[in-house]
Chain A
Amino acid sequence: MGMRHIGYATRTIPKFLEPLPGGAKTVDAIEFVVAWARANSLWPLIYGTACCAMEMMSTGSSRHDWARFGVEVARATPRQADLIVLAGTIVEKMGSRLVTLYEQMPGPKYVIAMGSCAISGGPFYYDSYSVIKGGDRLIPVDVYIPGCPPRPEALLYGIMQLQEKIRTEGRRNPWKIGTLNQTPFGDPLSEAKKVWADLEKSRTAPSPAISDADSGNIATDRPKPIKRPATEQFPEVARNPLSASRLDNETIFACILENFPETTLTRQSEHTVEQVRALGPEYLLDLTVPLHRYVEMVAFLKNSALLDMNFLLHVTAVDRLDRFEVLAHLLSADRGHNILVRCALDRQYPEIPSLSPLFAGAIWHEREVFDLFGIRFSNHPDLRRLFLEDNFPGHPLRKDFDDPSRVVRRPY
């Protein structure tokens, strides 16, 4: 109620004051004070998704102290904030939430895109299927701060630039709400092609400085080649020996062969203990088991008194184009050795028993594999997608995944 009255007052009072003698100057003076106050009491929203948030925290803490510039009262709720610093990568799933946050902020409100991810997607621009290529595809941005991440000084400078902008606002240059773009993807592929075509054109076109020199108008010397320092020479160094306390690969493989004679070594022609010895102590024991003995094998590794592999590192998969391979990686927390158990799956209908009865931690790892590869796990208690939205088309870590509306392929 009160806010509406203030808005009414700011609109109508200038109308009455301006025709009076000296009225315009009075309105100018009032506007100056309002803009000055607004610029020096920015209330940022505590919003940070990734690395840039750490530099934002540094900016707010002891050494850099953004309170010196009036940016002090960091708010956790958007309803009390008027500045949002886009600190970190914005992905598709977060995008709609970011728009909601922006809409919940009362105007006049400002946005700073901090770091290359918030500007353009940054290091994740190419090949990523989930990163939104710039915060300004979603919400209007006032100030861009380059860097990965920008230094705290850069953020302070960006804030000062924003304050400059706010100070110019008044009835001649009113604050307007920018356009919201709810469909962030558009067609990044054709955009990228255009950018690259322009870049190629600028590369092949003769640069103006050289053409002037060739025509004889300007007397310029050709730049002298830079003297590079002699490349440093580095010696070849032998590897440090491994610590002796580890159980060696031969003992582990002999123990497994005794119980599971059909086990083979991945990518090796022979499947004997001698072959394991020939591969050296640093070889990662990489075993292939048939599908029907997969769970049995992992259970054996877990319960065997000799091997004692009580720690599941991860469950993941590899797309081999003609088949999938599911990998369970186990570690012995006490003795330090680790084994990879690999199992080939039909690519058409990939399904494998879950390891969740053996390791509670497998539940999330298998959900991740289901999400990114589309491999089903039978008797899994909660088989849902882990990272992506339920309606995401396809499984992105498959080698044949292609979605031109999301992915910009790296052109080099």
Chain B
Amino acid sequence: MTEQQAGLAGDIMENGVAMTVPPGFSIDRREGHTDEYFLNMGPQHPSTHGVLRLMLRMDGENVLEVVPHLGYIHRGLEKIGENQTYLQNIHLTDRLDYLSSHINNLALCLAIEKAMGIGVPERAEYIRVMVCELQRIQSHLLWWGVLGMDLGAITSFLYGFKERELITDIFEEMCGARLTMNFFRPGGSFADVPDTFIPRVRAVVERMKSAIDEYDTLLTNNVIMHLRTKGIGVLAAETALAHGCSGPVLRGSGVAFDVRRSDPYSIYDRFSFDIPVGTVGDCFDRYKVRMEEMRQSLRIIEEAAASFPGGPYRSKKYATYNLPAGSYYSQVETARGLLGVYIEADGGPKPYRIKYRSPSFANLSALNDLAAGHKLADLVPIIATLDVLIPDIDR
């Protein structure tokens, strides 16, 4: 029984009421005399951010239980990856979490570098940090725009995309792609950044500073926004940790866990930035954390642009990347949280097993704890502030 609604043929009937419960719920059997019913949401739904399907157990307008159903965009990336070389795998990571594609590329490159002992020149490290932080801002801008649209304010969608296009322009000039970059390589990147990179980045940073203040006047201080998000979807810190939540979702619950700080990769340990945390763990806290993260990313970019070094943009190229037999793991902080790449190498040019530990997967698994007890309409801001990306979950 995959998508059967209660009441179809084959259900156990009592007084004309179907007793059967769709799979995954905590109850085995429906009680005949209650008003409980089951509601299907998705996979074709404008507010589930892709093809997420939720089965809801409802009592009137109150959500009692949520059961997510996955796999509507499961493409088998890990199986495909086993038959591609390590370098060919980089372009597949673009398509995991396509709003953090630079950061995903970096995660795989870090694992290859670790396995082969490849060092990275100074300039390449600066490029990495700046590009990844630009990507984080770009991702948060899209999230901000779509969050407003989910709450019924289409203006924020247009405003968010306005600044996002400027960052996309920088990426396009740098690597020719707007979304699926495939830019980083083990030891650096496939090309140097153009001369216009630093001036353009400086211009975007200046623009973004005033833009974020503008966003605050548009949405952050909006009374409807407060009513729709404050006290909604509270996630306790212990629950978040037990589910393996990371990124702004975990930080919104008050845990200051950030891979850039706890296990610094690239040269993040050289920059000063704060880790914003929430206090309550509700939707508004997660919102505030992401807004503050954009400001912190701007700080990092500014600092890096001020001391951007010259020199080579990558280290020695290898004809083939044959990882010695063993297991390798690298982790980065994407816009959504902790992305881990685990590689089981057998000494050949292709991975024996490659596993992506995606942040959205763990973040979404806590959904039932967040949404149970709230109204159906509150489910929309809850999903929006979890900022899940379904291809990242399904892989």
Contact = CB atoms under 8 A, between A and B. Distances in A.
B329 A284 contact: yes
Contacts of B178: 55, 58, 149, 151
Contact of B75 (A89, A246, A334, A385): A89
A313 B92 contact: no
B165 A58 contact: yes
A15 to B, nearest CB: 40
Interface in A75-123: 76, 78, 88-89, 91, 93-94, 97, 101, 123
B276 to A, nearest CB: 17
B157 to A, nearest CB: 6
B180 A51 contact: yes
Contact of A62 (B2, B73, B165, B329): B165
Interface string B18-55: 00000110000000000000000001111000110000
Contact of B71 (A128, A131, A386): A386
Contacts of B91: 123
The majority secondary structure among interface residues of chain A is loop
B200 interface: no
Interface stretch (A35-43, A211-219, A253-261, A360-368): A360-368
B326 to A, nearest CB: 6
B366 to A, nearest CB: 8
B255 interface: yes
B340 A314 contact: yes
Contacts of B390: 49
Nearest to B340: A313
B118 interface: yes
A394 to B, nearest CB: 12
A360 B239 CA distance: 8
Contacts of A291: none
A128 B80 contact: yes
B257 to A, nearest CB: 5
B241 interface: yes
* Residue of B71, B78, B161, B390 ringed by the most chain A CB atoms within 10 A: B71
B205 interface: no
Interface in B40-96: 43-46, 50-51, 70-80, 82-83, 91-92, 94-95
Contacts, number: 228
Contact of B362 (A47, A236, A240, A361): A361
Interface in A36-75: 46-51, 53-55, 57-58, 61-63
B220 to A, nearest CB: 20
Contacts of B24: 382, 384
A236 B241 contact: no
A298 to B, nearest CB: 13
Interface stretch (A136-144, A170-178, A222-230, A335-343): A335-343
A88 B178 CA distance: 16
B153 to A, nearest CB: 14
Interface stretch (B227-235, B351-359, B375-383): B351-359
A61 B145 CA distance: 10
Given A50-B391, A313-B340, A360-B366, 11 more contacts: A93-B71, A123-B95, A126-B83, A234-B187, A237-B119, A311-B257, A316-B355, A318-B352, A334-B262, A361-B362, A389-B71
10 A-B pairs closest in CB distance: A237-B119, A387-B71, A61-B161, A361-B244, A387-B74, A336-B263, A51-B98, A76-B46, A237-B315, A361-B243
